[in-house]
Amino acid sequence: MSTLDKILKLGHPKLYEISEPIVQEDIKSLNKIVEELSDILKEFKETYGAGRAMAAPQIGVMRRLIYMNITEPIILINPELFDLSDERLELWDDCMCFPNLLVRVRRHKRCKLRFLNPDWKEEIWELKDDLSELLQHEVDHLNGILATQRAIDDKSFAWR
Antiparallel, parallel or unpaired: β 88-95 and 98-108: antiparallel
Catalytic: 138? yes
Which of 35, 43, 90, 138 is an active site residue? 138
Of the candidates 81, 83, 70, 145, the residue with the CA atom closest to the CA atom of residue 115 = 81
Q: How far is CA 63 from the centre of its chain?
A: 12
Report angle CA 82, 109, 152 to the nearest 5 degrees: 100
The three-class DSSP label of residue 49 is coil
Longest CA span, the chain? 46
Catalytic residues: 138
